[in-house]
A and B are shown apart, each in its own frame.
Chain A
């Protein structure tokens, strides 16, 4: 930690790597107001760690980002480089999915046995990157449940109103859920 007004990138890197010590983590938690410039330092650190050059716009998961790609599109991208498509479409629909439906299958991930969800009432869905097989998400839901779009960010509002740095391609039409574009395409193949 540098001083009261600034948090160093080294400390942010320690947080990301899970190497921060408890004293520093506690000090960060006890800041009366969060350091406003954290986001851009965070992005800088993440950008340095990323094995690709695309600009990170937001971090969605440990290894999942919204980036601006070479075609100037805002897409979800895995740390391994795999692109999952337009960030307004639920990225889970670009994953491979393993579903655990039976008790033996569930017992591989819940312990002890009485702690296991009940087959029939629930199923466990694991969402993998098709390239590197990272497990990006887990859902424990009722069978037939629509895949949950966990977080659709309003990037333009965030960068303009929260960070005071508008995105160059901002437009009022960006913030919308486009997941149906995917499911409608798939449905057209059914019919």
Chain B
């Protein structure tokens, strides 16, 4: 394809089969030099930078400008709102081995997969057997071979070949609106294995000379439900790659191939050093632990695939330990993989881990593969992060891997707090939500969709010195935006917004509260022949976002949804007052104003929900955790929340924060200072009266553990996690159970 842009027309690349070292040889040399020297590709001195720093920075800025320009131009080729309006896309330029040199704005941690996919091509002799030529186009969406988090994230790779060698790769990524799984949307929530994950592509050539083959269009049309958007997104990715391809050729023409080949190694080594230095500047050495949980409720919903017809409580466990070369993130003790959609591959969980690590440690340097060298990862083989089964489903891994990021990121926050860099210390959550599905209009037109809105922006957790903010946080992108309601309405013809707003009171409480989450009310109007939806989520409210609150605060609650089917909504519309969020919906039901024949509140993943005229689908997501003891909250802030409507239930916050207030004649809340002091003292007495010493608590809890007095899913969770030595040791040391104590695995 030819792309018109401010760089001019991109010429069709010449057919130049590489004759230089094979990819396999390049990887061997890269790995050997890096391992033996401790420096990326053996670069112990930054000779080009030191000899002529201006030239060196000019070189890098041109690379960086190429990927930035690719995003800012190419996304306007696309149709999907997730890519055009939001942060759900990215372009990058890499070394021949796929190591990142520069990335655009967007979901930056996806750089983690680039070397995985290229290494697979190297190990399988793509360049030797088939030939890799300048301007070829490869599609990648497989976790096992391509390192892709989930197949809803789709990648295009374009090799850049010069003088018979692969000089690098241009890469474009975006989150599809629909990827053709049995569960419609882009996170197939009820997949059992990879064969239910939709369009899954190991690295495969789909085009040549910067142009896709004709058959590739047919794949989108026949194997996905949103082919128009997916084809345009495919063009978007390729258009950006073509721009990067063109710019890199021009760069090599200007600087020379030898300069380029040395400079790309120095760029990565330079950023690795800077990242390690930043870690030392911000962290306190030691061991940081965190945990989270994510429920998979499949029992009763997977009767066709009986081996998957069970509930699973996923245990997410991670530790962070700084060392001389950066830090080690270890997930040993997390659950084993399962017949559900929440498994990851190492590349996929890397994408999550690097979110916080890039944000924390690469903020003042070049964003390159240096982060991958500075953050060492241990994903135990057989675990949910490194399955010993090759066909696991990865369709919805983000629903739990985002917690790995939160644990790692919160370790950085704890360290920054301990060192006095309080301006960097805040509670990290990743409580995203979205909904997805498919429908057929009255005229027989079929469509698939994903509404990304609560993935685009969530509440940011509390800082250690002030409340968190609404909507500004998206750990997976620099561009927090929930997108335009009208865009999403246009993608899903029968669904209209009745409300879209912050949800008062929906956050983790503390001295400082988290940024509030969001809620929307979707109204189904004339659905035609059919519409049905499901909802993936980065954690559902049957478990909190993360397991540990910060400094005495409560972790942010998870997301939830409500389906209200068979309503009297036309009557409410006639009266002019319809619900705008989840809380208002429940209040109107309780008050008898809104009647619902089939009301369901979902704290776990909902099965496919078919909607009829005037049915409502209501969701809530994006909450975040607090910081500090709730009884230390400035009473004036409680009063402000009451008067702003952010604290809708006085009795709740009065007990939470020990604040006594009353509304004056104007309805304005006023603090009773003396009564507040007394209430706080009383609540502290109550804390002591209702608690027991840790030793007594331990004795009582240990008895339950020894007797395995727990629901079957918790029992199975321990059986899985104790199959890994690290957590087994911790568990045994903590509970002092007999040597023959064990949880039987199913």
Judge: A and B partners, yes or no.
Answer: yes
A146 engages B694 (CB within 8 Å): no
Stretch at the interface among A24-32, A47-55, A68-76: A24-32
B557 engages A116 (CB within 8 Å): yes
A115 engages B506 (CB within 8 Å): yes
B551 engages A18 (CB within 8 Å): no
A38-B420, A61-B551 known; A93 and B698 CB under 8 Å? yes
What residues of chain A lie closer than 8 Å to B512, measured between beta carbons?
18
Contact with B along A52-93 (1 / 0, CB 8 A): 000000111111100000000000000000000000000011
Stretch at the interface among B78-86, B192-200, B627-635, B670-678: B627-635
Q: Which of A89-129 contact B (CB under 8 A)?
A: 92-99, 108-118, 120-122, 124, 126-128
B688 engages A62 (CB within 8 Å): no
The one of B586, B655, B687 that contacts A112, using a Cβ cutoff of 8 Å: B586
The one of A122, A134, A148, A184 that contacts B289, using a Cβ cutoff of 8 Å: A148
A25 engages B423 (CB within 8 Å): yes
A142 engages B465 (CB within 8 Å): no
The one of B284, B315, B560, B688 that contacts A58, using a Cβ cutoff of 8 Å: B284
A98 engages B734 (CB within 8 Å): no
What residues of chain B lie closer than 8 Å to A153, measured between beta carbons?
284-286, 418
Q: Does B280 contact A (CB under 8 A)?
A: yes
A138 engages B548 (CB within 8 Å): yes
Q: Does A15 contact B (CB under 8 A)?
A: yes
A149 engages B554 (CB within 8 Å): no
A34-B421, A128-B688, A144-B710 known; A184 and B586 CB under 8 Å? no
A183 engages B687 (CB within 8 Å): no
Q: Which of B684-728 contact A (CB under 8 A)?
A: 684-685, 687-688, 690-695, 697-699, 701-702, 704-705, 710-711, 713-714, 717-718
Chain B interface size, as a band, is 35 or more
Q: How far is it, in angstroms, between the C-alpha of A43 and the C-alpha of B420 when the chains are bound?
A: 8
A62 engages B464 (CB within 8 Å): yes
A16 engages B691 (CB within 8 Å): no
A141-B547, A154-B285 known; A112 and B505 CB under 8 Å? yes
Question: Smallest distance from the beta carbon of A63 to chain B beta carbons, Å?
Answer: 8
Q: How far is it, in angstroms, between the C-alpha of A94 and the C-alpha of B697 when the chains are bound?
A: 11
The one of B414, B423, B704 that contacts A28, using a Cβ cutoff of 8 Å: B423
A128 engages B541 (CB within 8 Å): no
Q: Does B364 contact A (CB under 8 A)?
A: yes
The one of B553, B555, B684, B730 that contacts A146, using a Cβ cutoff of 8 Å: B730
B629 engages A134 (CB within 8 Å): yes
Q: How far is it, in angstroms, between the C-alpha of A139 and the C-alpha of B287 when the chains are bound?
A: 18
Q: Does B660 contact A (CB under 8 A)?
A: no
A36-B281, A109-B656, A117-B544 known; A61 and B552 CB under 8 Å? yes
Contact with A along B399-436 (1 / 0, CB 8 A): 00000000000010010011111111000000000000
Q: How far is it, in angstroms, between the C-alpha of A19 and the C-alpha of B552 when the chains are bound?
A: 20
27 contacts between A and B (CB under 8 A): A15-B465, A33-B364, A58-B418, A59-B417, A64-B551, A109-B656, A110-B557, A112-B503, A114-B586, A115-B620, A117-B543, A121-B714, A122-B544, A130-B693, A133-B685, A135-B631, A138-B555, A142-B710, A142-B714, A146-B731, A151-B284, A158-B286, A177-B287, A179-B733, A180-B733, A180-B734, A186-B736
List chain A positions with a Cβ less than 8 A from chain B. 12, 15-18, 20, 25, 28-29, 32-34, 36, 38-39, 41-43, 58-64, 92-99, 108-118, 120-122, 124, 126-128, 130, 132-155, 157-158, 161-162, 175, 177, 179-180, 183-184, 186-187, 189-190
A-B residue pairs, 5 tightest by C-beta: A42-B420, A187-B736, A118-B542, A115-B557, A146-B734
Given contacts A39-B420, A144-B714, list 7 more A-B pairs with CB under 8 A: A62-B632, A96-B692, A114-B620, A121-B711, A133-B687, A145-B547, A147-B694
